Amino acid sequence: MMEKNASEGPACSPEETASEFAKVPTAEPPGEVAVSESTREEQVPKPQAPAPQAPTASTATKPAPPSEDVPSAPLLLTLEDVSSSSVTVSWEPPERLGRLGLQGYVLELCREGGSEWVPASARPMMVTQQTVRNLALGDKFLLRVSAVSSAGAGPPAMLDQPIHIRENIEAPKIRVPRHLRQTYIRQVGETVNLQIPFQGKPKPQATWTHNGHALDSQRVSMRTGDQDSILFIRSAQRSDSGRYELTVRVEDLEAKAVIDILVIEKPGPPSSIRLLDVWGCNAALQWTPPQDTGNTELLGYMVQKADKKTGQWFTVLERYHPTTCTISDLIIGNSYSFRVFSENLCGLSTSATVTKELAHIQKADIAAKPKGFIERDFSEAPSFTQPLADHTSTPGYSTQLFCSVRASPKPKIIWMKNKMEIQGNPKYRALSEQGVCTLEIRKPSPFDSGVYTCKAINVLGEASVDCRLEVKASATH
């Protein structure tokens, strides 16, 4: 009986682990190590698992291999990585490989609280790092590795703490679209459909609140997916305005985003309007703001006028902010009505407030009283504003003398040469236009040299200017 118990042995014996291989996920070594493993398979014959036998006295009393034949425990067993479906471990070769040489390593797993060790591969692997894949979320197990020679497996190296397979935690983040970072404005009756993307692992839990309270499920519907949350209101009402807060949680981590929604409609008309005064072609109006602004601020008022004869309305002021105004340029003899609309982001109010009385623009008896006109006296004695300038000329080429004079009434112009008048001489031509006096001397000769004088005379006085003209004789060779 004692021998039978000894043959069954602990659950971690090589025979039992080989039979339980199909129950565990597959293990994959790194790529470069896998190449060395395939090479090792060509060179080293595959170890055969002993056929299961009924426990007998001979197997129960089979002597254990000498300690020099089996390798010692691997060194520095380290947990490299744990994901949501795999685990990777590495280790260093043992100090003692055994006299028969090392055939590989056996990686075994045992569920926490259990006693059965199951190998991760069908045969020993000649690698010092292995990845066990296809693990289920929530698994919690112990892990150990043993070095194997042809004489058997050596003592195992075991991790101190059990390994827990769980999904990687990623802190939640909410990405609010740009157009929702400011107040989101909708009109009454329109649809509100907000899609807010977020991220986080495992799948976050999303909740919405409206002004700090839970959503009204009869008016607002919410749907949350793996990567976004949708808030939907089929027909928005003014009561849906306010602050909506989205909270996304992953375990103890959370992220929040706030979205302000404003539902508006057209404003009501001004409460009252009255005609303050009418004078000349002007009329003064005053009105009171509307009782209902449409759940938003007003952009102003639009003021219109209508002539009693035609009844057509014409806009006088648009988006006018004060509540008093003066309408000018009204036509004399006409009677006018006035009306005022309120305006906000939705547009003008559906109705307007109209003045009850008409503004009559009376014809006033205006007598013109022109003031006596005093004619200004522009009389002025002659004075030269531009004098004559000395001039040198060449014989045979006509030359001109210029000066300008100012006087009122128009002065008489007299040209003189060497104090002698030259009027009527065909050799000279005198012109006077707009106060500019010109004397043209046709084909002068040295005989025409001398002092020329221009004299201006009117009833208020006279003035004169002089210049010297020199006609140089051409040189003879």
Note the pLDDT tens digit of each residue in 163-197. 888 777 788 999 999 999 999 999 999 999 999 99
Nearest to 122 by CA among 24, 33, 32: 24
Higher per-residue confidence, 232 vs 165: 232
The pLDDT confidence band at residue 251, using thresholds 50, 70 and 90, is confident
Domains of the chain: 78-165 (2.60.40.10), 171-264 (2.60.40.10), 272-361 (2.60.40.10), 381-471 (2.60.40.10)
Mean pLDDT of 206-231: 92
Q: Does 287 score more than 90 pLDDT?
A: yes
- Which token pair is 385? 């504003």
Q: How far apart are CA 448 and CA 428, in angstroms?
A: 11
The CA-based diameter of the chain, rounded to the nearest angstrom, is 174
Give the SS3 label for residue 121.
coil
pLDDT confidence of 58, banded at 50, 70, 90? very low
Mean pLDDT of 114-137: 85
317-331 residue pLDDT tens: 999 999 999 999 999
Query: pLDDT-derived band of residue 208, with 50, 70 and 90 as boundaries?
Result: very high
Query: Of the candidates 248, 259, 251, which has an alpha carbon nearest to the alpha carbon of residue 173?
Result: 248
Q: Say whether pLDDT at 40 is over 50.
A: no
CB 336 within 8 A of CB 330: yes
Tens digits of residue pLDDT in 342-365: 999 999 999 999 999 999 988 776
